[in-house]
Amino acid sequence: MKAFAPGSVTAVFAPTESGDESRGVSMAIEDGIVSDVQTAGRTEVVLGGDSTNFEPVEGVLAELDVTARVELDADIPIGCGFGASGAATLATALAANEVFELGHSRDELVGFSHVAEVEAGTGLGDVFIQSAGGLLMDDGSGRRRWKPTDAVEYVSFGGVSTSEALGDDELMGRVRSVGGRILTSLPDNPSLERVTRDAWEFARELELPTGRVRETVLEVEAEGGVASMAMLGETVFAVGVDGVLPNRTTVSHHGAHRL
């Protein structure tokens, strides 16, 4: 049984005091991950033809109390700010629920996936936008979702350790403060261009962008677009340009689903 979950790009976020959830603005994209789940005597996760340790995927299978062989096919870079761990975990939960006839609701599967991500230190809420699709904003007053039609271009130069960043109390304290302020300043239904512009202010104030990220954002701006850094990865996403960055996708409006 196969299931697909879109990748996601978090533009701005602000962890809650408890550290197990996050407010923010994120979008789901059409590029994502397919998980093929098959019954097996022991759990094995295969990525690109090779067995790998994929803690949140293994964690959600343990939460579901099943063992399986999981083959992942990724159209997005792993560990580069595209929510790949969340997409893999959510797609696996959806497929496993069907294979093993577990009867869990979608909300329960999203919850199990979220817990697996938090416990693995790989994400604080990617699975919510990956389940819903569209652009999702939570400024503390509740989640709001809408469906922008902008094309999104992106390029990735490498990864940032999400678990290390989320475990850095000093950094997360600054993220909570700056991210909270940015979220409060956004209008109720901001355009994707506005979100991206404010996201770049967020990233720069936290001194997160590398030299390559800064140079790429300047290239986008020189062509009349806006760009920022995906959280968390050495990755630039942009709107308002055509052919400036090597990868082009759109916002996914449908969210994760079985294939």
Task: Determine the pLDDT at residue 134.
Answer: 95
Whether the predicted pLDDT of 124 surpasses 90 = no
Mean pLDDT, all residues of the chain: 93
Task: Determine the pLDDT at residue 31.
Answer: 96
Write out the residue range of the structural domain in which residue 121 sits: 1-259
pLDDT in tens, 13-56: 998 776 567 789 999 999 999 999 999 999 999 998 999 999 99
For Cα atoms 34, 246, 242, give the angle at the middle one, nearest 5 degrees: 110
pLDDT in tens, 74-115: 999 998 999 999 999 999 999 999 999 999 999 999 999 999
- The more confident residue out of 47 and 123 is 47
pLDDT in tens, 209-224: 999 999 999 999 999 9
Per-residue pLDDT band for 177 (boundaries 50, 70, 90) equals very high
Assign residue 202 the CATH number of its domain: 3.30.230.10
Report the domain count for the chain.
1
